[in-house]
Amino acid sequence: MRTRPTLSWSNPGPSLPRASTLTDVVPIVAEGGVLVLSGAGLSTESGIPDYRGEGGSLRKHTPMTYDEFTTSQAGRQRYWARSHVGWRTIARAHPNAGHHAVTRLAGKLSGVITQNVDGLHQAAGSPDVVELHGGLDRVICLDCKLLSPRIDLDRRLREANPDFAATTTEINPDGDVFLPEETVKDFVVVPCAECGGMLKPDVVFFGENVPRPRVEQCYELVDNARSLLVLGSSLTVMSGLRFVRRAATSGIPVVIINRGETRGDPHASLRVDLPLGKSLTELAEVVVG
């Protein structure tokens, strides 16, 4: 049975007081050694909605799960048809002011971990970004494990579906869109060009585990950081929350800039409720000029 991912959580204690200025954030970032953990909220100003914010896509969209993708041919057909349309929007998206501000702060950062799969940190010039959930710009064969560029698959899918002309104005953070069943029922899914196996975007689906070496790499980044700066993540799922908990347990200050409460608030030193693009731009101007 396909289940909906978690939309929200119950805060077991009093809410963390929220700040409306960057006054207390500036000295923490200026000290350096800051590890950034970013979420979908950072990309909303690039036209990609988040999952759980106001109007978040999970309220009307159930993301593909790993089990359905690997066990259901119809599920794969539906996913690839919808993702084929969505990928074009993701590929056209540009980094926003928040992404560029993170790049400007690179000299103060010890690393960037992103929960996003849109590649916008890299497009803005941030070096050595750890993509916790993978990237939509790559495709992996589940049989031979070959990695290939998404642009190559896009070309093959267009060739296999010359009359497929679906469009949409709504995109989800995972690159999926909504299309009617009658639109996707004849979509042709292509196999791995190398071995004929099953292709999957190189992203972590709901119900799938983040590869352990990647998790350990992120733990090491947390352990070596002076502070953890969370940007645009509700931290609802454990994949990101565990790093906040790790930092807090180690006595590393956790600063969260997000619109609304997060599941990580009980572990944070400070939460700032401000629009990310504007606030991060101001932060970069103050810290690095």
* 149-166 residue pLDDT tens: 999 999 999 999 999 988
pLDDT tens per residue, range 207-244: 899 999 999 999 999 999 999 999 999 999 899 999 99
**Domain definitions of the chain by residue range:** 18-288
What is the Cα–Cα distance from 170 to 130, expressed in whole angstroms? 27
Share of the chain above pLDDT 70, in %: 89
Name the β-bridge partners of 65.
206
For residue 277, which of 104, 26, 111 has the smallest C-alpha distance? 104
Binding positions for Zn(2+) are 141, 144, 192, 195
> CA-to-CA distance for 63 and 83, rounded, in angstroms?
11
Strands 129-131 and 109-114: parallel
Which amino acids are annotated as binding site, given as ranges? 39-59, 115-118, 141, 144, 192, 195, 232-234, 258-260, 276
In total, the chain counts a number of residues equal to 289
178 in helix, strand or coil?
Answer: coil
Confirm if 173 and 165 have CB atoms less than 8 A apart.
no
Q: How confident is the model at residue 263 (pLDDT cuts 50, 70, 90)?
A: very high
- The rounded mean pLDDT for the chain is 90
Q: Which residues are annotated as a binding site for NAD(+)?
A: 39-59, 115-118, 232-234, 258-260, 276
Q: For strand 129-131 and strand 134-141, is the pairing parallel, antiparallel, or unpaired?
A: unpaired
CATH of domain 18-288: 3.40.50.1220
- Residue 257 and residue 232 in contact, taking contact as beta carbons nearer than 8 Å: yes
Report the b/e string of 181-219 with b at 16+ CB within 10 A. Answer: eebbeebebeebeeeebbbbbbbbbbbbebeeebeeebe
Query: Which active-site residues does the annotation give?
Result: 133
